[in-house]
Amino acid sequence: MKIITVIGARPQFVKAAALSREIQKHADLIELIVHTGQHYDSNMSAIFFEEMNIPKPHYQLHVNGLSHGAMTGQMLEQLETIFIAEKPDLVLVYGDTNSTLAGALAAKKLHIKVAHVEAGLRSFNMQMPEEINRVLTDRISDVLFCPTDAAIQNLVQEGFNETTATIIKSGDVMEDAALYYATIANDKSQIIQTLNLQTRSFILSTIHRAENTDNPQYLKQIIQALNTLHQTKQVVVPLHPRTKNVMHKHGIEVQFTCIDPVGYFDMIQLLQHCSLVVTDSGGLQKEAFFFEKHCITTREQTEWIELVSNGYNSICGVDTATIVQTALTKLNAPYPSKLNLYGNGKACEHICSVLNSISNH
């Protein structure tokens, strides 16, 4: 079976690192990687391929820095040309980015099978570009690899069991990656020493979701919360370039520690050594769980509802007082006992066994 994997953003590089390594163990599965270029600077892209031994992309599209429509359109056009030339049996897409939707759409229009890793996730907020991407991608996918029972339930409620799509509970490939790379990160990363941080002496935070960065008022409230928390415990923020530009444009001042975006090993080290995570990132909410750190989510909803219902994650929205109060409470709270929510590192194995069975039919 010839598979083309379409990736373009940081979380997809991490997922592909885990799954591509497993695919290489299967003689019947041949994988070509297409990098759309959605995340393109070296801190957001090249470093992941180098650090994590992801196979070099066979195609590099350099589509970035455009509006949603222009970006998705250019990806569609270029992916279609590649798919026609390569004639894959299946196109594999991850998550909820413009690259995800473009890959699925280009394949489906050419009658090529589509497999969606991280299917069935819902925030139920159609103002989020990610929600639109994931809903549409699920609808045109042939194989839906769902990380959780909640994801499967979402698809059932939307009538997917009445379609020809195959729904599989696979577990979460992010957990496979986190467990595999955690030991390597100890040898590869020097970030704790470089920043002169002590274990559990700092809060780790990220802000990049468009719903927060495109609303200056929301962004100001989150920054104010981080400024306030920094007075109690150091706050370290690897700052997304887009967020940095918005803050500069609106004169939003920070009193915490800003650093450039970091590679995956550095992020794992920061996660392992921090005392708390404050984020609007879907991926980081899970990674906090993998490394047993309380997570404060600066959004009104999350796709990872099982983290909230089991007490690992607190949804705080963008209200400054709520973020600060919840964070200070969680800093001193014991971590709940850890449940097997995401497959305990066996997701990639399961996905490859399914792909193998498809290729043998």
Q: Which of 35, 116, 208, 294 is catalytic?
A: 208
Look at the block and give the residue holding tokens 């305990």: 344
Structure tokens at 29: 């599965």
Q: How far apart are CA 301 and CA 93, in angstroms?
A: 24
Q: How do strand 30-35 and strand 257-259 relate by DSSP bridges?
A: unpaired
Of the candidates 281, 272, 256, which has an alpha carbon nearest to the alpha carbon of residue 189? 272
Cβ atoms within 10 Å, residue 187:
8
Length of the chain measured in residues:
361
The question of whether 361 is a catalytic residue gets the answer no
**Distance, first Cα to last Cα, the chain:** 10
Is residue 209 within 8 Å of residue 281, measured between CB atoms?
yes
Structure tokens at 148: 């959780």
> What is the radius of gyration, based on Cα positions, of the chain?
20
Task: Report in angstroms the alpha-carbon separations of 210 from 93, 132, 242, 273, 319.
Answer: 22, 13, 9, 28, 17
Q: Could you please report the per-residue DSSP string of 338-351?
A: PP--S-TT-HHHHH
The three-class DSSP label of residue 35 is strand
Classify burial at 80, counting beta carbons within 10 Å of its beta carbon; exposed 0-12, middle 13-18, buried 19 or more. middle
Torsion sign across C-alpha atoms 35, 36, 37, 39: negative
Longest Cα–Cα distance of the chain, Å, equals 61
Catalytic residues: 208
